[in-house]
Structure 1
Amino acid sequence: MSAAPSDSDAAIEASDLTKVFGKQRAVDGLTLTVPRGAVFGFLGPNGSGKTTTIRMLLGLVAPTSGSISLLGEPMPSALAGVLPRVGALVEGPAVYPYLSGRDNLMRLDAADVRSDAATRKTRVASALDRVGLGHAATKKAGTYSLGMKQRLGLANALLRDRELLVLDEPTNGLDPQGTREVRGLIRSLAADGTTVFVSSHLLSEIEQVCSHVAVMSAGRLVTQGRLDELRAAGERRLTVTTPDTDAARGVLTARGLAPELLTADAPDTVTAPLPAGLAVEELTAALVAAGVRVRGIAVSGETLEDRFVALTGEGFDVAG
């Protein structure tokens, strides 16, 4: 289990956070709130300021202005007390290539003055097993693949119980099975009460594991909130499959919808934007009551990719 949380309801709070490099404003007035217990996805196009933000949150880069609170404590003044409660994997792990995976972790753990030497071997073995590296514990880290090195970095972050885990591209270099395992690991950590902050360019991964999301663009925060609310903010569409397309269009128009013209490749389909608050059950009943032979009816919403492009104007291959 994670260590006992402090009184703050937020694991991460940033207010008007700004970072300027020369003439470049890498992060511009960022205000961010990450609730405790959330799996928080941090998205943005290449160069949007995500990694700079993470480095400021962890005290690796000093902000030009603004304030940061981590686990209820002000940063960077509380750095020494807060960081032992935080696990992090930022911009890929660094390893000692001539040491085994196990010896890498043993050395890193020994460097932590708060670690318990009496339980070190057990904790290292457990961390390696959790990330699927138990079988390669004695192999030199220099022979590891990129994905295995990524797993080793995750294992290092898990050597102690953490209240907050910050992961920058955690599935980088992993095969599909490894990606699936990391996804399961994130879920299990969240179930134990750990707040997980994930920066990723893989929108499908964010959709599968995250409860909350924030989107960056050109150094500024575009939106943040619950993932389901972000999706709901987009357009919903109703699709009705029926041989009675003219009648169906008449019913939908009478209910305030704007059915679109049929296309040659879907002659038995009527589609229309679905306003918020209008129940599909109500429309189905109206269609049936009007004698429309409904073969199928479905409601689709925008994907996270759709919303991302709408908010940033950029595509989704966005490792930034």
Structure 2
Amino acid sequence: MSAAGPAAELRTELSIETRGLTKRFGHQLAVDDVDLAVPKGAVFGFLGPNGSGKTTTIRLLLGLASATGGSMRVLGEEMPGKLNDVLPRVGALVEGPAFYPFLSGAANLHRMDAADPYGVAATRRARIQSALDRVGLTHAADKKVRAYSLGMKQRLGIANALLAPRDLLVLDEPTNGLDPQGTREVRSLVRSLAADGATVFVSSHLLAEVEQICTHAAIMSAGRLVAQGTLAELRRAGQARIRVLTPDPGTAAHVLAGLGLTATVSPDGAASAGPDAVLFAPLPAPAAAPAPAARETAGAADAGPQDVEPEAVVAALVAAGVRVRGFATEQVSLEDRFVALTGEGFDVVQ
């Protein structure tokens, strides 16, 4: 196989691929050398605080802005050179939908589809009805958009993205303004789109939503891509910790220190656990397995914190007379990982 073979095969498996993507506004670097890889058929969460470059990246991918540097491929085609070939296969909802307020929802979709040179007039009415049905707006099809709630307008925007079969859906904050029922409906819709074979690229600040519907995610910070992969990979990259509930925190902390673990007492432990204290201690990431020769020469003295297993921690605590009322290992959440990578909490105002 030629050297170009594997690369070509990889590209066919990616719905979005960027290499060194950069966008500068004057002296401001909004997107900085981003290498993004969105697998075909994934529900991909695109995360980041305000000003991190998420929306600018989306605008670059859709040809709504010009890149300063780097390259992009969308659905296997070079962008923006193949823009006219790619966009008919892409449905998008970016920065909130805009509609004629004096027209009904169905009439707005009719005008938008009629303005699409690829829209087939003979099937227009059926496609509009199908799109409205998929987003739960059939009952409001004839209502003027000025009477729509924010959530209804958001769903109408998604319906517009679904007027034709799409290989890629790009949704910017798709659950913005939705009530819990509407959120569940959009969540179900996203899953069904992926089940039908589409790739769904979701920009969102709602970590709980991303964890429920996405298979993969990427995290942006200050214009740079700081992490990407499956949700499981992103969580595993963080540091797990142990949680100990005990009325003997001093002795427990001493035992943990002997195992190379630094314990901290939860500041609200007394309030939540009564007379007991809650201790947390981060577990070092597992070390890579040594080569066979290294294993033969390695002695017990070489064992470090990376060799500590949760079971051994419990045994050491009990052996030292610590009264263990509760013990658990906790994997980092996506939110923990986000904060560790960006140094920020989530500002939900977009």
Q: TM-score range by the shorter chain?
A: 0.7 to 0.9
- C-alpha distance in 2, partners of 1:12/1:189? 17
Could you tell me which of 172, 190, 204 is aligned with 1:200? Answer: 204
Question: Structure 1 stretch 301-310 or stretch 48-57: which is displaced more?
Answer: 301-310
The offset of 1:82, in angstroms, is 0.8
Give the distance between the partners of 1:114 and 1:288, measured in 2 at CA.
Answer: 71
Q: Are residues 1:75 and 2:79 paired?
A: yes
Q: For structure 1, list consecutive stretches of 5 or more residues without a partner in the other structure.
A: 1-5
Candidates 135, 140, 146, aligned match of 1:142: 146
Give the alignment partner of residue 326 of structure 2, picking from 296, 302, 310.
296
**Structure 2: tracts of 5 or more residues without a match:** 1-9, 287-307
- Among 129, 141, 144, the residue aligned to 1:125: 129
User: Would you say 1:182 and 2:212 are equivalent positions?
Assistant: no
Aligned residues: percent identity?
Answer: 66
Match of 1:26 in 2: 30
- Which residue in 2 is equivalent to 1:217? 221
Alignment partners' CA distance in 2, 1:282 and 1:145: 56
* Partner-residue secondary structure (3-state), 1:16: strand
Shift in CA distance, 212/319, structure 1 to aligned 2, threshold 3 Å: farther
Residue in 2 aligned with 1:229? 233
Tell whether 2:44 aligns with 1:40: yes
Q: Deviations over 1:128-182 (max 9, x none)?
A: 1111111101111122111111110000111122111001111112122212211
Q: Counterparts of 1:198 and 1:288 in 2: how far apart (Å)?
A: 47
Aligned to 1:276: 285
Q: How far, CA to CA, are the matches of 1:231 and 1:7 in structure 2? A: 26
Partner of 2:173: 169
Instruction: Work out the CA distance in 1 between the residues paired with 2:122 and 2:321.
Output: 76
Paired positions, count: 315
Amino acid aligned to 1:271: F
Aligned counterpart for 1:95 among listed residues 92, 95, 99: 99
CA–CA distance in structure 2, aligned partners of residues 58 and 79 of structure 1 = 8
Give the Cα–Cα distance (whole angstroms) in 2 for the partners of residues 285 and 81 of structure 1.
Answer: 63
CA distance in 1, matches of 2:225, 2:171: 19
Structure whose alpha-carbon radius of gyration is higher: 2
Q: Does structure 1 residue 15 correspond to structure 2 residue 19?
A: yes
More helix, by proportion: 2
Cα distance, 1:54 vs. partner? 0.5
TM-score of the superposed pair, with normalisation by structure 2: 0.81
- Residue 112 of structure 1 corresponds to 116
Structure with the bigger RCO (C-alpha within 8 Å, sep 6+) is: 1
User: In 2, Cα distance between the equivalents of 1:27 and 1:119?
Assistant: 40
- The corresponding residue for 1:309 is 339
User: Could you say what the CA RMSD is over the residues aligned between the two structures, in angstroms?
Assistant: 2.5
Please say if residues 11 and 17 of structure 2, whose CA atoms lie closer than 8 Å, have aligned partners that are also in contact. no
Q: Deviations over 1:277-299 (max 9, x none)?
A: 45545555666788866443222
Q: Is contact 1:128-1:134 (8 Å) kept?
A: yes
Q: Is the 8 A contact 1:200 1:319 kept in 2?
A: no
Kindly tell me: are residues 260 and 219 of structure 1, through their superposed partners in 2, closer, same or farther at Cα, counting changes over 3 Å? closer
Supply the distance in 1 between the matched residues of 2:189 and 2:109 (Cα, whole angstroms). 19
TM-score by length of 1: 0.88
Give, in whole Å, the separation in 1 of the partners of 2:335 and 2:81.
38
Q: Distance in 2 between matches of 1:33 and 1:7?
A: 9
Change in 2 beyond 3 A, CA 1:261/1:303? closer
Native 8 Å contact 1:44 1:318 kept in 2: no
